[in-house]
Amino acid sequence: MKRVEVYLSDEQYEKWKQKAESEGMSVSSFVKKAVESAFSNGFVSKKDEMIAKLEERVSDLEHELDLVMFALEKVDNALKKLNRGEKLEQNDFVYSSEG
């Protein structure tokens, strides 16, 4: 049988020890069970997958925000034009990168 050593702060050890005792097992058994559970549930790979999905969602939301900000700028410019008594033109609401 192999042995693995883990270095913990006193606080971490106490936390693990209390959890193990509440489960009616030794710290060693608790850690072994927790690690096996993480492997069985795909904890490590699911975390990476979740991070990738969140990064993709953030990118999508940034793009959507850019579009909303662009539209708000068009509306703001049109309102300023109306407040100056100017007539709106068809291209005041055309979406283009040239503004």
Confidence class for position 91, pLDDT limits 50, 70, 90 = confident
Helix, strand and coil content of the chain, in percent to the nearest 5, comes to 75, 0, 25
Determine the average pLDDT of the residues in 25-31: 94
The arithmetic mean of pLDDT across residues 54-72, rounded, is 95
Q: Is the pTM of this model over 0.75?
A: no
Q: What's the angle, vertex CA 40, arms to CA 34 and CA 44, rounded to 5?
A: 80
First to last CA, the chain: 70
Query: 99 pLDDT band (50/70/90 cuts)?
Result: very low
Q: What is the pLDDT of residue 27?
A: 94
Tokens read off for 68: 């909303």
User: Cβ(58)–Cβ(76) under 8 Å?
Assistant: no
